[in-house]
Structure 1
């Protein structure tokens, strides 16, 4: 897989801790499985619906896949029951790999819409709900 940007859905508390600590060690679900669950642009919506439904303080964090190095592996999920390969990070997620982040909200149709966005190469970046005003850098 060669997706240059991968995504992590995280709570506001997880984002603030990552910003303050300089890294993210994963949430409860990640620690249980032994790696940090990430998504491609195409996988974000399904991942949000499966793992983050209804969360009120949800953030989409966009990461430079190359900056994650060899700790990033592309693997089948759910024992191969879900199509495609998913990015899994076997190690801490460094703040230095973050290329953007935005707060998300739930729509009435069960999807999420990012309120900001990530940019890649100056173009509007990946969003789950079709609207992407974009943000070029991580705010602290």
Structure 2
């Protein structure tokens, strides 16, 4: 009798799992027009955008410190500038790699590539201008 109730409970759970799986498949098919699943954002694209936001935050911090001190900044601000370049290069790399992911929404990759490219060019301009 005890074994029978265990078997019935196991069968009930198996049926419940099957029902949930069927419902999940129906929801996937229903999520978009004509039954196509909604595309997720590329993970590397999200990483690229996050690195661009970090680089922007550091740039704003650098410029505000430089403005407050009227241009008398130390080596620490220069190292922060190099950190922005490193973040921009790694964000650019992550955005390009994100474009290779299959069946994803690539808008975050494109935004990340654009922002990191602008930051990289801007920092390159600042460094070149500082040399001459």
Shorter-chain TM-score: which interval?
A: under 0.3
TM-score of the superposition, structure 2-length normalised? 0.21
User: Which structure would you say has the larger Rg?
Assistant: 2
Higher RCO (Cα < 8 Å, 6 or more apart) = 2
When you count helix as a share of all residues, which structure comes out higher?
2
TM-score of the superposition, structure 1-length normalised? 0.21
When you count strand as a share of all residues, which structure comes out higher?
1
